Structure 1
């Protein structure tokens, strides 16, 4: 049976108030469209987890969706701080939990493997241990050496954006690969958004690119341009001007609210949001075709 449904329905059905969310993607394939839909639907008291919160969580915190954020690096990439998330943490308005990049991914790996924690080698980041009581010291039973242990992360919902998927959720992604696979296998529910919905034969033609198998996916949604202002390798470029502009917008609550009113609450869905950006912006974000070399998989 097809798992293909509209994004609004997927968020309404599979994302509930008070749940934990991991919106995956590293540098590109960041699921902004899903984040905006969560804002539109007024979801509240969410625990947001993400290795690099990016602007997607700045916007969700600004909209009042979050009660906690778990992260490693936090910032507006290449620009500066995430003003809204940082301000909310400093004022004590939301809870927070911080790890190193490797520590955060290790939390997901433990969750995906069904383990209660993941041991990692000690690092120089001892201040993180002081700030995060969930990071523990354990003894390697084989060598007697001291190790770091980080707890399993099992989000209620993982949202993964991919370049293409079939109607059952079997998904191809390429370019810079982040923690999408680990987040999907660690989560209780998985929502996939895709640039294209393709026939199953397309997915089967390149099995090594299927990082998200359909059997762990609850819903798949056709959402072209879902990553803006992030990018999707091979489909459209990163909107660097937006990232620069957000730094200015996020300086005041009034300008942030004005942006949310116009671009999120004021648009029916992501298709309308993309259309509102205009043809000139669309043209600026176009990418040229650059195909990989063909692969002969032989008989299967």
Structure 2
């Protein structure tokens, strides 16, 4: 486990048509390069899972990779909506997109249940919402001890979980810090996992507050410097705010989006598209 490979080889080995794939990262350490490599390898009929799908999922949906999106919030953070996502939902372009909506707490607890080997999670987070009436995977449940009505959501166990991190060693142990989101949970919940990293080192150094994923929890590791762009990797890169604004204009036009896809993704061999 923790096999070190190129990004191209890792995606080819781990991500298959029809898979359920989770690319996680909350503002920080978003595995954008991995998402673009999935586009480059023309994967299809994926169920994409993510708490906060932003522009990398807009790109994947617009490229025709997805048949379903499981999520709790979607948007271009600080800018606006996701035009390729909206086009797929409203106009079935380039293919129809099914959606399954949850709360942030619901999604996080679904990953925790999956990582814990449990069939479902229980929480109060859906009280006062109409999601239970709109989402089949949100169900009321009665507490056997107090009689309180709570909400149950099924565990998430993606076929593939993908995250980005600051570094890994050559044995495949991974270390990350900053806003850690649900990195640990999605890797532990997934059947197969890929961690792209800024740097592979001979030995991990101690760092207060850092999370370490032992090599036996990770299927594959790929060194992809800048692999989170335009999001940031704490200690390595800053958030590229200008790109988020630029993406809004690119993504509003099908023609402009397809031109960007051809020039920035399909015409390149790897890394993050500019």
TM-score interval for Structure 1 and Structure 2 normalised by the shorter chain = over 0.9
Higher helix share: 1
1:207 shift after superposition: 8.3
Secondary structure of 2:4 counterpart: coil
Contact kept, 8 Å, 1:194 with 1:221, in 2: the verdict is yes
1:125 shift after superposition: 4.4
Contact kept, 8 Å, 2:124 with 2:151, in 1: the verdict is yes
Contact kept, 8 Å, 1:68 with 1:94, in 2: the verdict is yes
Structure 2 unaligned blocks of 5 or more: none
Corresponding residue for residue 265 of structure 1: 266
> Within 2, Cα distance between the matches of 1:125 and 1:233?
36
> Within 2, Cα distance between the matches of 1:119 and 1:84?
33
Structure 1 stretches of 4+ moved >3 Å: 122-125, 205-208
> Within 2, Cα distance between the matches of 1:87 and 1:125?
30
Higher strand share: 2
Cα deviation 1:128-179 (Å, max 9, x = unaligned) = 1122021000000010110000111100001111001112321111111111
Structure 1 unaligned blocks of 5 or more: 278-300
Q: Determine if the alignment matches structure 1 residue 178 to structure 2 residue 181.
A: yes
Corresponding residue for residue 247 of structure 1: 248
> Within 1, Cα distance between the matches of 2:251 and 2:211?
37
> Within 2, Cα distance between the matches of 1:44 and 1:167?
32
Q: Determine if the alignment matches structure 1 residue 189 to structure 2 residue 205.
A: no
Contact kept, 8 Å, 1:167 with 1:220, in 2: the verdict is no
Distance change >3 Å, CA 73–CA 252, structure 1 → 2 = same
Distance change >3 Å, CA 183–CA 122, structure 1 → 2 = closer
Q: Determine if the alignment matches structure 1 residue 163 to structure 2 residue 170.
A: no
Cα deviation 1:88-124 (Å, max 9, x = unaligned) = 1223511110000001101111111111110001544
Tell me the TM-score normalised to structure 1 length. Answer: 0.87
Corresponding residue for residue 230 of structure 2: 229
- Structure 1 segment 94-243 matched on structure 2, within 5 A: 94-200=97-203, 202-203=204-205, 205-206=206-207, 209-243=210-244
Corresponding residue for residue 293 of structure 1: none
Contact kept, 8 Å, 2:52 with 2:74, in 1: the verdict is yes
> Within 2, Cα distance between the matches of 1:77 and 1:43?
26
> Within 2, Cα distance between the matches of 1:261 and 1:29?
25
> Within 2, Cα distance between the matches of 1:220 and 1:190?
9
Corresponding residue for residue 31 of structure 1: 31
> Within 1, Cα distance between the matches of 2:195 and 2:202?
16
Contact kept, 8 Å, 1:122 with 1:146, in 2: the verdict is no
Alignment: residue pair count:
271
Cα deviation 1:273-293 (Å, max 9, x = unaligned) = 4xxx5xxxxxxxxxxxxxxxx
Higher Rg: 1
Contact kept, 8 Å, 1:109 with 1:152, in 2: the verdict is yes
> Within 2, Cα distance between the matches of 1:258 and 1:71?
28
Cα deviation 1:8-63 (Å, max 9, x = unaligned) = 00000111110011101110100010011111111110100000001010000011
Secondary structure of 1:36 counterpart: helix
1:218 shift after superposition: 1.0
Tell me the TM-score normalised to structure 2 length. Answer: 0.95
Question: Which of structures 1 and 2 has the larger relative contact order (alpha carbons within 8 angstroms, sep 6+)?
Answer: 2
1:208 shift after superposition: 5.8
